[in-house]
Structure 1
Amino acid sequence: MWRLFLLAVRRPGRPVRFGRPSRGLTGHAGRSGVAAARPPGPRPSSGRLLTVIALVAFVSTADNAVLVAALTSIQSELGLGMAGAQWLGIAYMLAFAGLLPATGPLLDRWGPAGLRAGLALFASTSLAAATASDAVVLVAARAGQGAGAAIVVPGTLRLLRTGLPARHRPLGAAVWTAALAAALALGPWLGGVLTQHGHWSWIFLAHLPPLAAAAILLGRPAHDGAEPVRTAIPVGPALLAVAASTALTAAIVGWGQDWAWLPVAVGAAALTTLVRHELRSATPLFPREVVRNSAVLGSVGVLLPWGIGVSGAVYFTPMVHQDAFAQGPVAASLPLVVIAIAVVVATPAVVRITRWFGVRATVAAGCLVGGGGFLALAGTAHAPDLLSRVPGLVLLGLGAACTAPLTAHPLDTVAGRDSGTVAALLTAARETAAALGVALLGLVLARNAVADLAHGYATALVVAAALQAVAATAALTLLRPPEQAPP
């Protein structure tokens, strides 16, 4: 829920551009090169683009936040079990994570037309989710929303660099960050309000007005100020990544079932094919100099256990509060609001803390603080009141804020031409970890909640705390002081 916020606050003055830039220019067909220059055309004003940036940032960040408040209502109406509730989040996360590396080159080639296509995809799949009458259609629509997000998020970040004049780019980054913070704090509450006083379908219908407004404000500019390039779009490798992560996640969700071996086999085959492609291809999904970078690998190594624990526990919190304590969607979403406020308040101080104590100590301490928050929440898992949970929720938010250097640290060690690729890789790692967390902690919750849902929730929180300890150990072991980044 707060992953994009932690990414955006990294460098307000230097917005991140997703996607791999073109390397080398040539006029030969089938190779990378600059296309014929497009004639100048009308470009949206800075005010309109800033509004687009705010709208997309809010909608894309609030999407999962509003969903978790509506899970119980969706389960009740569509007859979903625990696995169905898990896939509503997993489908979005895996589509977003897996397709993200391919959308950068797509946007580099298509420019504003690619962003408009992403807005249309996000809007149409949101409408499909709102009108879904069975679980299969709803899960498919959620995957479509994830694919749309994989286009509109980097496409909107791209506007910061290609659409705004240099003097307005810091303001654009600040608007993006402010919109993320607002979605982070208000998303769970809005989801609860829409579900409790309307219908769960409203959480998806609510996407349509801001997405339509963004498309209208974007207009149809002839170009966005960037040189159009012809870059290879790695659709095949990206689909292999989605297939591998989806199959292996399905194996976790269905652990213990007779058919669980099948997704393991499919996932292993897809992963083997992807690795073989990456080792042999002249244009791998991620450049070799990036995946061999110790800072990048170290951050991913920390992000995975951290994200599995945090995202998995957060995803089921409103559902447990509604089912175990008979709370309404609004009251059940308040714990996430407390976490979000703690993240927003603490994040500005993390820059100074990192400067004083370094990346390793800051991230490791954040993981341990978050683990302490999970243990505190586990101790109050049977208490229905919010007040007893506030200390644990605040600790969890403070710990999450301290993981912000996991984005800044690797980006400081790579060449500028690779910064978009690294940002895409880190975002994909966060989303994949979130999907695995929903699968793993959902399995723990279901296996330990046969007689008492609150007991199963407490067990899942303890597992989340253990994962934070693993992440802290990884931070102390894998993270190193950044070396001088190449130009």
Structure 2
Amino acid sequence: MSASLPPGCDCPMAATTSPAGATSNAHPHLVLATTILASSLAFIDGSVVNVGLPAIGHSLGADAAGLSWVVNAYLLPLSALLLLGGAAGDRFGRKRLLLTGIFLFALASALCVAAPSLGWLIAGRVLQGIGAALLMPNSLAILGANFSGEERGRAIGIWAAVGAAAGAIGPLLGGWLIDVVGWRTIFLINLPIAALAFYLGARYLRDKSNPARPALDLAGALLASVGLACLTWGLTVASAESHLGSAAMAAIATGIVTLLFFLRVEKRAGDNAMLPVSLFASHAFTGLNLLTFLLYGALGALLVLVPFVLIKVDGYSATAAGAALLPLPIVIALASSSAGRLAGKIGPRLPLMLGPLIVALGFLLITRIGNGSSYWTTTLPAMLVIALGMAGAVAPLTTAVLASVDADHTGVASGFNSAVARSGGLIATALLGMILASQGTELVTGFHIAGVIAALAALAASACAFFWIRPAGPSSPEE
């Protein structure tokens, strides 16, 4: 699930679609089905791959760095290109970009199925990430443009519920396929879903391009991708080798410099930038995105490690490891709406302080996993506590992000926040190499240390809410 967030994190991208982009359609239910099927590709794939890491490593002889890249090769283009994918849909047509994304995702999935080596699998994962960066924002924009008022809220709710179900079923189904057939089948299940989504989209979606919109920020997208790639590669190598060598140091430095240059280019581009730097004039916007990075980075790292440790140390089958994660998406899906209503009454500050605190407690409970104890007394309590904390944070976080900027920038703000969440998982996963390379007692010890560090990150996220969100919900963008 590190590669796919709880669906509620992406809902604002649909809710903030400009009314001017609305399109009439005689088949609203088929439009909804198309957006659900397209988004489910990303949700299923993101949640199922973590369960398959031990089997992939054994089959392809992947080392710790290689296993990190199986996850990060998907997260990297998704994080860097998410905003560009949405902007491209606004300019060239959301239907066109959605169908392109579905096609690329299907092609990439076929490449992953047939991958003869780790390098080919990673190449397929990169292409999957590019496809997801195109289909995710445009499926949500299409959803927002084809529904309005109460119908829009209902459609977004159905989309989020089905996405949560896909994220819950994915690890269980994927684990069973891995045990019965093999890890390649976890990518094979994408093909019929993609085929149906492509058919429905090609036949029933109505859309048009808008050449009057500003040109795409290709320079910004390139710099963001190169900067994140260099930083991720350097951190992955340093973590896998347990020291900061000259090559890793050079890559990290190059990544940081490139990302700083990216911010300079975006500042010069002004409102035409992929990421308008003026957004960071809002202290609340900056603090909320730091909160997002810390919270989702910690969550992403541990959701890679938990099934890995359950399989490698406690002897779980892939099916059992997938089932062990079920409480997380189910509880988040069931409890997020209530947390959203509560945040609407009391403001997002208190929920965003308490939610990460509860998540931190859950991360500490994770340190009891890996000693051969019962699932019911170790893994389940930890998953339930983490899920309750995340459920308390998901809806208030998206509400607070939208309130932190003016109405003209809510779309890019929500898209950037979603990208930041995935970037947190990207950076955190890059730091797991030393743990993934360990065996036996060393693996358990490293996993427990990671749990404590994740708890500290969640505490820091809570502190961000305390310092950067106003006690009362403002009626205008926060400064």
Structure 1 vs Structure 2: percent identity of aligned residues? 26
Distance (Å, rounded) in 2 between the aligned partners of 1:263 and 1:428:
22
Distance (Å, rounded) in 2 between the aligned partners of 1:377 and 1:222:
45
Distance (Å, rounded) in 1 between the aligned partners of 2:376 and 2:273:
50
Q: How does 1:183-222 map to 2 (within 5 A)?
A: 183-219=166-202
CA contact (8 A) 2:84 2:216 kept: yes
TM-score, length basis structure 2: 0.90
Distance (Å, rounded) in 1 between the aligned partners of 2:255 and 2:157:
40
Say yes or no: does 1:410 pair with 2:393. Answer: no
CA contact (8 A) 2:110 2:191 kept: yes
Structure 1 residue 185: Cα displacement: 1.6
CA contact (8 A) 1:49 1:164 kept: no
Q: What is the aligned partner in structure 2 of residue 419 from structure 1?
A: 410
Q: What is the aligned partner in structure 2 of residue 296 from structure 1?
A: 285
Distance (Å, rounded) in 2 between the aligned partners of 1:98 and 1:165:
30
TM-score, length basis structure 1: 0.89
Structure 1 residue 123: Cα displacement: 0.8
CA contact (8 A) 2:12 2:414 kept: no
Structure 1 residue 8: Cα displacement: 4.6
Q: What is the aligned partner in structure 2 of residue 240 from structure 1?
A: 223
SS in 2 for 1:103: helix
1:373-422 per-position Cα deviation (integer Å, ceiling 9, x unaligned): 11112034313431112211110111111221121112023333211101
Distance of aligned partners of 1:355 and 1:477 in 2 relative to their CA distance in 1, 3 Å threshold: same
SS in 2 for 1:232: coil
CA contact (8 A) 1:88 1:142 kept: yes
Q: What is the aligned partner in structure 2 of residue 162 from structure 1?
A: 145
SS in 2 for 1:230: coil
CA contact (8 A) 2:63 2:437 kept: no
Q: What is the aligned partner in structure 2 of residue 50 from structure 1?
A: 32
Among candidates 256, 260, 263, match of residue 268 of structure 1: 256
Name which of structure 1's ranges 315-324 and 161-170 shifts more when overlaid on structure 2.
Answer: 161-170
SS in 1 for 2:313: helix
Q: What is the aligned partner in structure 2 of residue 179 from structure 1?
A: 162
Among candidates 455, 459, 465, match of residue 445 of structure 2: 455
Structure 1 residue 310: Cα displacement: 1.0
Unaligned 5+ segments in structure 2 are none
Structure 1 residue 263: Cα displacement: 0.8
Q: What is the aligned partner in structure 1 of residue 56 from structure 2?
A: 74
CA contact (8 A) 2:27 2:204 kept: no
SS in 1 for 2:247: coil
Distance of aligned partners of 1:176 and 1:262 in 2 relative to their CA distance in 1, 3 Å threshold: same
Q: How does 1:59-138 map to 2 (within 5 A)?
A: 59-111=41-93, 112-138=95-121
CA contact (8 A) 1:17 1:154 kept: no
CA contact (8 A) 1:445 1:459 kept: no
Whichever residue aligns with residue 152 of structure 2, its letter is: R
1:57-108 per-position Cα deviation (integer Å, ceiling 9, x unaligned): 3221111101011111100000011111111111111110100121122101
1:345-371 per-position Cα deviation (integer Å, ceiling 9, x unaligned): 221221243245532221121111111
Q: How does 1:365-444 map to 2 (within 5 A)?
A: 365-389=354-378, 390-404=380-394, 405-440=396-431, 442-443=432-433
Structure 1 residue 454: Cα displacement: 1.8
Structure 1 residue 258: Cα displacement: 4.2
Distance of aligned partners of 1:44 and 1:87 in 2 relative to their CA distance in 1, 3 Å threshold: farther
1:205-229 per-position Cα deviation (integer Å, ceiling 9, x unaligned): 1111111111111125794278664
CA contact (8 A) 1:105 1:231 kept: no
Unaligned 5+ segments in structure 1 are 23-39
Q: What is the aligned partner in structure 2 of residue 473 from structure 1?
A: 463
Distance of aligned partners of 1:362 and 1:449 in 2 relative to their CA distance in 1, 3 Å threshold: farther
1:245-300 per-position Cα deviation (integer Å, ceiling 9, x unaligned): 12112222122144212212321331232122123234322224322222211110
Whichever residue aligns with residue 253 of structure 2, its letter is: A
Distance of aligned partners of 1:328 and 1:388 in 2 relative to their CA distance in 1, 3 Å threshold: same
Whichever residue aligns with residue 17 of structure 1, its letter is: T
Distance (Å, rounded) in 2 between the aligned partners of 1:61 and 1:128:
19
Name which of structure 1's ranges 414-423 and 323-332 shifts more when overlaid on structure 2.
Answer: 414-423
Name which of structure 1's ranges 214-223 and 84-93 shifts more when overlaid on structure 2.
Answer: 214-223
Name which of structure 1's ranges 380-389 and 431-440 shifts more when overlaid on structure 2.
Answer: 380-389
- What's the C-alpha RMSD, in Å, of the aligned pairs? 2.5
Q: What is the aligned partner in structure 1 of residue 349 from structure 2?
A: 360
Structure 1 residue 449: Cα displacement: 5.2
Distance of aligned partners of 1:208 and 1:420 in 2 relative to their CA distance in 1, 3 Å threshold: same
CA contact (8 A) 1:343 1:398 kept: yes
Distance (Å, rounded) in 2 between the aligned partners of 1:287 and 1:78:
42
Distance (Å, rounded) in 2 between the aligned partners of 1:485 and 1:197:
55
Whichever residue aligns with residue 98 of structure 2, its letter is: L
CA contact (8 A) 2:175 2:322 kept: yes
Distance (Å, rounded) in 2 between the aligned partners of 1:9 and 1:281:
27
Q: What is the aligned partner in structure 2 of residue 224 from structure 1?
A: 207
CA contact (8 A) 1:195 1:203 kept: yes
Among candidates 314, 334, 347, match of residue 303 of structure 2: 314
Structure 1 residue 171: Cα displacement: 3.4
Whichever residue aligns with residue 120 of structure 1, its letter is: F
SS in 2 for 1:432: helix
State the aligned residue count. Answer: 464
CA contact (8 A) 2:30 2:204 kept: no
SS in 2 for 1:325: coil
Whichever residue aligns with residue 232 of structure 1, its letter is: A
Distance of aligned partners of 1:151 and 1:221 in 2 relative to their CA distance in 1, 3 Å threshold: same
